[in-house]
Structure 1
Amino acid sequence: MVWCGLWTGIVIGPYFFKNDAGVNVTVNGDRYRAMITDYLMPEIEARDLGDIWFQQDGATSHTSHQSMNLLREHFGEHIISRFGPVDWPPRSCDITPLDFFLWGYVKSKVYVDKPAAIQALEENITRVIRQLPVKMFERDIENWTQRMDRLRRSNGQHLINIIFKQ
């Protein structure tokens, strides 16, 4: 499992979830909170990002009481999440820039040389993310802002006019 954060022209990550022996593991609440505490918060502080919003999907490890309490400690009311101060719209994976843009783009580049081992895959992911042009993020954030405006105007309904362009 891999995690990335996106902030106006900056990618924080990739962060690969591994156990103490360095073996890849799935994400659970404890691992997610450890990533936030041990990786994300130091990255935010090192980059002096200050007053930012944290957006996440509704995965159980993200929205457990412990995870949400930790996020509130760090981000206050600036959280877009299921059970958060700004509720994540149901069935809306398409509103996060990472889901509707970044992961698809990264996958299209990462698998070009057909990595045969996890280490090669992780190296490709890291390389592709490090080479992303800033201009691409600007367009991505602009597109996200437009979708959020349309979502707000539709009171959280499906964005049919975006998904199925008429």
Structure 2
Amino acid sequence: MHTKFPAAVIVIVVISSEGDVMPPQFFEEGVRINADGYIHVLETVVKPRVDMVAAGRDYLFQQDSAPAHKSRKTQAWLHSNMPYHWTPDLWPPSSPDCNPLDYYLWGVVEEKVNAKFHNTKDALRATITVVVLNVDRKEVKHACGRFRSRLERVVAANGGYIE
């Protein structure tokens, strides 16, 4: 059975170059993802997880160019609380070729999650959670290890799409 308006959820996941995968954090239904809502999740979920995984080591926090990510308020919070992050002026917009979540993780998750139909948002969330928690750490580490070579290929393509 297909539906004209399939269930959809908003989720955040953080991965590390060592292969660690944060359990998915779902935003409440109907919540508009603005700077305040995003900062709340950064403060209460993401930063504690990153600090635990980094265990005192330096790290680089990368995100995409979503409006809530690049807002002045979010950038000020990141500057004060997660100083090892790439600011929007260092990061090209719409750059899925340069983000391991985009060029690896979300494709794997979508393929496995979309292998079956989900009649409810709870079923969709449950499947996403199972899939994310079972992603192979070695594969995540390998995908993150390709980061530099992918950046070099984007530069060689003058910022164009790479395959």
**Matches of 2:94 and 2:122, distance apart in 1:** 33
Matched residue, 1:52? 59
Q: What is the TM-score with the length of structure 2 in the denominator?
A: 0.83
Q: Secondary structure of 1:115's partner?
A: coil
In structure 1, the gaps of 5 or more residues are none
In structure 2, the gaps of 5 or more residues are 1-9
Shift of 1:63: 0.8
Q: What is the TM-score with the length of structure 1 in the denominator?
A: 0.82
Matched residue, 1:142? 145
Moved over 4 A (4+): none
Correspondence list, 1:12-161, <5 A:
12-18=22-28, 23-47=29-53, 48=55, 50-76=57-83, 78-83=84-89, 87-151=90-154, 153-154=155-156, 157-160=158-161
- Name the Cα RMSD after superposition: 1.9
Matched residue, 2:20? 10
Q: Secondary structure of 1:158's partner?
A: coil
Deviations 1:52-77 (A, max 9, x none): 1011111111111110011111222x
Shift of 1:118: 0.4
**Matches of 2:107 and 2:99, distance apart in 1:** 12
**Matches of 2:98 and 2:51, distance apart in 1:** 26
Structure with greater strand share of residues? 1
Identity %: 28
